[in-house]
Amino acid sequence: MDNILQNAQRQGRISFYMTCRGEESTHIGSASALQSQDTIFAQYREQGTLMWRGFSLDQFTDQCFSNDADLGKGRQMPVHYGCRALNFHTISSPLGTQLPQAVGAAYKLKMDNDTLPCEDKKSIAIAYFGDGCGSTTDFHSAMNFAATLSVPIIFFCRNNGYAISTPVQDQYAGDGIVSRGPAYGMASIRVDGNDIFAVHAAVREARAYALHHSAPVLIEAMTYRQGHHSTSDDSSRYRDTKELQSISDTADPLKRLSAFLEEHGWMDDASAAAI
């Protein structure tokens, strides 16, 4: 899907697109650990979470082309997906605005959860964001509100190495994003974002914790953005192609999952080609 829609932009058929190559495990690993009633607030590089919930390729394409079948009726830029039926709030362009909004939703879910006797009916909110978003005031406001209000929410940071063209070493001097959680009195975990099973386990346990304690959890998933930031970006101007190749060779999430499946005899070259 990413290749087709990025090529469509290059051909002038759509105005804009953002790929998620290299970050697939953060999407599927996290989405598969959630329940359908959990509310998702995404940033703009979480196509896989919406795809996991059943958003079709036609629906993705309709949104990017802003045609009459688009659920948003062409009122949004491409990749600004949203689907009420799938509990996926519409993406907005300003960086970080989804974080305090997610806290507000989690506060409502907290009140609803108190009236539900059955645990499997209770729900949380999850807010996705990138490492660059950790430099916004909305990030800090949301973290503080979530902790002081004790709401069931997961803050899921995709630390992919770059905030557009700014590498992480120029963004912060501390130990990444996860180290900020304890300062807010928040349970926090760092996970290998290129390991789909590790991401799934982290989100599964974070969800259980958030519900049991009615408290927020911060997850920092360490991954790498293999594509350009967007179709308006040329990442070769600020990062060495050798860096990208090294990550692709050693930490690519799709290659790692494929190797795991092949090792256990669950996939071979023929079945992979068929997919």
Q: List the catalytic residues.
A: 225, 229, 238
Exposed e or buried b per residue across 161-172, where buried means at least 16 C-beta atoms within 10 angstroms of its C-beta: bbbeeeebeebe
Q: Are 117 and 147 in contact (CB under 8 A)?
A: no
> Which residues of the chain form beta strands (DSSP E)?
39-41, 88-89, 125-130, 153-159, 162-163, 166-167, 187-192, 217-222
In order of 26, 68, 128, 146, 221, the CA distances from 155 in angstroms are 13, 34, 6, 10, 11
Please give, one letter per residue, the 3-state secondary structure of 90-134.
Answer: CCCCCCCCHHHHHHHHHHHHHHHHCCCCCHHHCCCEEEEEEHHHH
CB-CB neighbours of 135 under 10 Å = 15
